[in-house]
Amino acid sequence: MNLQLSYCFCFFLLLQLPFSTNGQAYKNVSLGTSLTAAAASGDLPWTSPSGEFAFGFQQVGDAGYLLAIWFNNIPERTIVWSANRNNLVQRGSKVQLTADGLLVLNDQSGTRIWTRPELGGSGAAYGAMLDTGNFVLAGQAGDNLWQSFDQPTDTLLPTQNLNSGGELIAPYLEKNYSDGRFKLILQDDGNLVMYTTAYPLTTSNFAYWSTQSSIGSGYQLIFNQSGYMYLVTRNGTILNRVFSNSASLQDLYLRATIDYDGVFRQYVYPKTASGGKRWAMASTTSTNSIPSNICLRISYAVGSGACGFNSYCELEDDKRPNCRCAPGYSFYDQDDERKGCKKNFISQDCGHPSQEIDNFEITDMPNTNFPHTDYEYFKSVDEDWCRQACLSDCYCAVATFQNGQCWKKRGPLSNGVTDPTIADKALLKVRKDNRTEEIAQKKSAKKSDRSALIISGSVLLGSSIFLIVLYAFFTNRKKQKLNLNLFYAHILLPRPMNVTYLPCIL
């Protein structure tokens, strides 16, 4: 009897194991539960069991709120997924797991912005934020009806895979999470490819990195718990290793993100980090960023290159690309360097180019090139000849010289890059002393003088016309008065009488 009781007790414990495991892995979100952006009640986000990840609203400056998932135990609250990156909502907006099992985001006016699962699908029984960073909507049987891992934005987390046709789109800026200028996609042909986008569209433009897998071979990009990332075939054979940096998830947070500068990087963050630490690249010895030098990888006849027009790209010591304006140019927007740069000087006058030569000079830029804007090419010339050729040509914005060869290039400058591997020297034409303000002031003074002259002339002309009209008015009035006097005189003065004398008949 005691033996039977022991077996029954053990069986009872076994029955409890799945439920205990499930309870540890999930922190369920019940139907009808909601969160409000900037709620006065201070709604807390839906967190994973360990508290390492959270799902809820994050404020993005003054622009609005993002429905997002983020690392919850680090000061940066780094976002790894978002639902409405291109359509921020405002204070009072609400996300709710409705009674019919739909996860719905409504703006402050009640307009539906986003829904999962897609309309027409089965409703969820509950939602859950997992310790993997995956938010799931589960059915009655515990099957996932929808999960954030299947619709990534710009980041992959360990245990998250990118399936054929899946893509990551870089954010526009570090703190502007809308779709940006670069993307990574696992194409249907099996290639993992990085593209520039036809911004503001997200359509692929020009490829700048690829695994160059054989057609149809690549099936899935796997990011495993050890930190390795690799491309596999349908049968699981490894085709390409993307990142080979091992990491312990017990000690480190780990992510792979395509950043706003177009580089796909693997990052780590110590879980025991104190305040002031930041995400670091996963390794200093093996590949942790793709491509290794984006400045050299983007160069096409159409577009501005890795940076904006009239700027150039240079890799810094920390292996990050830096966009700088060419000498004599400045950023259109200091907060968005990839918008490019504008001239700080008046262009050469093509009407009198010979008279303008003395107003310009050449600035040397070693190991620099601005490809794809050539309009004239010369060989067997020296550097001084190349300089003078650009100075005397009003169409020439820059010339590049290498081994007796000279290329004249028109503006705007594009695909600019500085790198020790580049043998060209850029000969950039700028106005001496950068006298934009002086010239602008002179032009403004001339314009003011011309305006003053026009105004004076207008006043003088107006005064003359006024005096003429006034003179005509009084002269005409005097004439009218004289005529009127004559009229009255004609009527009032006695007229001479005509007397007819009749003959007298006696």
User: In 77-92, which positions are buried (b, 16+ CB within 10 angstroms) versus exposed (e)?
Assistant: ebbbbbbbbeebbeeb
CA dist., res. 177 & res. 264, Å (int): 16
CA dist., res. 87 & res. 107, Å (int): 10
What's at 98, amino acid-wise? Answer: T
Residue 138 · residue 128 · CB < 8 Å: yes
Among the listed residues 144, 113, 131, the one whose alpha carbon sits nearest the alpha carbon of residue 54: 131
What confidence score (pLDDT) does residue 185 get?
A: 98
What confidence score (pLDDT) does residue 18 get?
A: 34
Task: For residues 420-442, give the mean pLDDT.
Answer: 78
- Chain segment 275-302, per-residue pLDDT in tens: 667 898 876 556 789 999 999 999 999 9
What confidence score (pLDDT) does residue 503 get?
A: 42
Task: For residues 147-163, give the mean pLDDT.
Answer: 98
- Chain segment 119-134, per-residue pLDDT in tens: 666 789 999 999 999 9
Residue in the block written with tokens 């963050």: 269
The 8 Å CB, 24+ separation contacts for 18-27 are: 22/142, 24/49, 25/49, 25/130, 25/131, 26/128, 26/130, 27/128, 27/129
- Chain segment 202-231, per-residue pLDDT in tens: 999 999 999 987 767 789 999 999 999 999
Q: How confident is the model at residue 305 (pLDDT cuts 50, 70, 90)?
A: very high
6: pLDDT strictly greater than 50: no
Of the two residues 278 and 3, the one the predictor is more confident about is: 278
* Residue 43: alpha-carbon gap to chain centroid: 31
Return the SS3 of 39: coil
468: pLDDT strictly greater than 80: no
What confidence score (pLDDT) does residue 465 get?
A: 64
Q: In the chain, where does the domain assigned CATH 3.50.4.10 lie?
A: 311-434
What confidence score (pLDDT) does residue 457 get?
A: 54
Neighbours of 468 (CB within 10 A): 10
Q: In the chain, where does the domain assigned CATH 2.90.10.10 lie?
A: 25-151, 153-292
What confidence score (pLDDT) does residue 474 get?
A: 54
What confidence score (pLDDT) does residue 247 get?
A: 85
- Chain segment 191-205, per-residue pLDDT in tens: 999 999 999 999 999
DSSP annotation of 477: H
Residue 274 · residue 294 · CB < 8 Å: no
* Residue 141: alpha-carbon gap to chain centroid: 43
Residues 6 or more apart from 241 whose CB is under 8 A from it? 228, 229, 230
127 beta partners: 29, 137
Report the mean per-residue pLDDT for the chain. Answer: 84
Percent of the chain residues past pLDDT 90, beyond the cut: 68
Q: How confident is the model at residue 12 (pLDDT cuts 50, 70, 90)?
A: very low
What confidence score (pLDDT) does residue 476 get?
A: 58
Of the two residues 39 and 267, the one the predictor is more confident about is: 267
Strand segments, DSSP code E, in 367-480 are: 368-369, 374-379, 398-402, 405-409, 416-418, 425-431
Residue count of the chain, please give it: 506
Sign of the torsion formed by the C-alpha atoms of 120, 125, 127 and 132: negative
Task: For residues 397-426, give the mean pLDDT.
Answer: 98
- Chain segment 308-324, per-residue pLDDT in tens: 999 999 999 989 999 99
What confidence score (pLDDT) does residue 486 get?
A: 40
458: pLDDT strictly greater than 80: no
Q: What CATH number labels 153-292? A: 2.90.10.10
DSSP annotation of 357: G
Among the listed residues 342, 413, 405, the one whose alpha carbon sits nearest the alpha carbon of residue 371: 413
CATH 2.90.10.10 fits 25-151, yes or no: yes
Task: Tell the burial category of 149 from Cβ atoms under 10 Å away from its Cβ (0-12, 13-18, 19+).
Answer: buried
Residue 124 · residue 86 · CB < 8 Å: no
Return the SS3 of 448: helix
165: pLDDT strictly greater than 70: yes
415: pLDDT strictly greater than 50: yes
Kindly state the helix (H) or strand (E) to which residue 253 belongs, with its residue range: strand 252-258
In terms of phi and psi (left: phi > 0; alpha: psi -120 to 50; beta: otherwise), the region of 415 is left
Q: Which fold has domain 311-434?
A: Hepatocyte Growth Factor (3.50.4)
- Chain segment 442-457, per-residue pLDDT in tens: 444 444 555 555 555 5
- Residue 110: both structure tokens together: 């009640």
183: pLDDT strictly greater than 70: yes
